[in-house]
Structure 1
Amino acid sequence: MNRVLSTPPTIPSGRLSGSPHPVLPVTGGGLVLRPWEPDDAAAFLSAYEDAEICRWHTHRPDTEARARAWFAAYREDWERERGCHWAVAREDGAAVGRMALRRLNLDDGVANAAYWVLPAARGAGVASRALAAVGAWALEEIGFHRVELDHSTRNHASCGVATKAGYRLEGTRRGAAVHDDGRHDMHLHARVRGD
């Protein structure tokens, strides 16, 4: 069924998929955001062996083959303009974290950010700098109007990352997500163009 919009889409179809998935610089620390590669499977899988990452992420790969299948799905997300997924990588190419824009709504110009950082890279501002970089790219270069994220109200580290990266706390969504230990209230943060 074809939908007819009364307003033009914020981001025209093909704006993302019409070019290769970009590598984005991250200010400070020699980091970049780059597409996931098959050789990243071991590092990706190791993230989901970390207790803190598992605490906040219920969807987890269980083998390197499954991780590589996720990477293939990430490439398809880019091609279909459903999502953008990056490894946060050091200068030597080693992946130390994940950054993603999911649930892309090109009509309204809204995306949802998600991230994690491996234990060895925590405490150095990696996540907040990567989140700031993806927000700047989405809002200023691609033309999204809003990038939002949510996290458990119990995840104080993620709240700090969002705030440090310029994503304002907008409110609490009660009982909005299921974690391994039950339902959690979720904080909603966002950056909008012009912030």
Structure 2
Amino acid sequence: MREETEEMAVPGGPFLLRPWTAGDVGALLEAHADPLMRWQAPQPVDTAEEALQWIRRRAGQREEDAAYSFAVVERADPRAVLGDITVSAVDRRHSTGWVSYWTTKSARGRGAATAACRAVCRWAFDELGLFRLELGHRVDNIASCRVATAAGFAVEGRERQRLLYSGVRYDVERHARLATDEEA
């Protein structure tokens, strides 16, 4: 399993993107204990069994060619999970995908999300043959917008009241990056 994980790793500057493993259960639980993560996560992870199921779902999605999730880790210590970067909604007919990301509290502001986003885009264009990658963020999530633009995603518009969190609707700003765009 270790060799397979290393073989599927994607370099991202001082960071590395690697598939999630059962050894990441503790890191996933710690990440989901953060109030910001709990507020945004569609399904918070509260137990070791839920974390293991989350990791298994990601592996299953990869096998089905539906989504590709990577743990974002330090190159120097590939066990130190800093976040997640995912290409989901893979549509082979139109060569498109949806990018999403999150970082742990301790990783925020260190450039991990931007580096991971750049790396996963290059990987998705080169390895999956995708042409267009999209993402969206709440308009009040300035940090996520900075990551998207720094990773080369162009703003394409606003979706009014797209997301619902704790009974409040939020507008979403949409971004996209094409395989033909200049590297960020």
Please, what TM-score do these two structures have when normalized by structure 2?
0.89
Residue matched to 2:51: 67
CA distance in 1, matches of 2:120, 2:53: 23
- Equivalenced residue count is 175
Residue of structure 1 equivalent to 2:101? 115
Which residue number corresponds to residue 44 of structure 1? 28
Contact 1:112 1:149 in 2 (8 A): yes
Structure 2 gap segments, 5+ residues each: none
CA distance in 1, matches of 2:64, 2:91: 12
Please list the CA deviations of residues 72-123 of structure 1 after superposition, one character each: whole Å capped at 9, or x if unmatched: 1111101111100110011212111111111111111111011111111111
Structure 2 residue aligned with 1:98: 84
Contact 1:57 1:179 in 2 (8 A): no
Kindly indicate whether residue 157 of structure 2 is the aligned counterpart of residue 171 of structure 1. yes
In structure 2, give the amino acid aligned to 1:72: R
Deviation at residue 64 of structure 1 after TM alignment: 1.6
CA distance in 2 between partners of 1:100 and 1:180 (Å): 24
- Pairing partner for 2:37 from 53, 71, 83: 53
- SS state at 2:45 partner: coil
Which structure has greater helix proportion?
2
Counterparts of 2:167 and 2:100 in 1: how far apart (Å)?
Answer: 20
How far off is 1:49 after superposition?
1.4
Q: Which moved more, 1:59-68 or 1:75-84?
A: 59-68
2:138 & 2:64 partners in 1: Cα distance?
A: 29
CA RMSD of aligned residues (A): 1.6
Structure 2 match to 1:33: 17
Query: What is residue 82 of structure 1 aligned with on the other side?
Result: 66
Alignment partners' CA distance in 2, 1:131 and 1:180: 28
Residue 119 of structure 2 aligns with an amino acid whose one-letter code is A
Identity fraction in percent: 32
Shift of 1:181: 4.3
Partner of 1:24: 10
**1:56 Cα deviation (Å)?**
2.7
* One-letter code aligned to 1:60: P
What is the letter of the counterpart of residue 156 of structure 1?
I
Measured in 2, the distance between the counterparts of 1:106 and 1:36 equals 23
Q: Which amino acid in structure 2 is aligned with residue 44 of structure 1?
A: L
Higher RCO (CA 8 Å, separation ≥ 6 residues): 1
Equivalent of 2:136 in 144, 150, 162: 150
Distance 1:40 1:114, change over 3 A: same
Equivalent-residue separation in structure 1 for 2:179 and 2:77 (angstroms): 33
Gaps of 5+ in 1: 1-18
8 Å CA contact 1:58–1:179 kept in 2: the answer is no
Structure label with greater radius of gyration: 1
Per the alignment, residue 114 of structure 2 pairs with: 128
Runs of 4+ in 1 over 4 A off after TM superposition: none
Contact 1:24 1:32 in 2 (8 A): yes
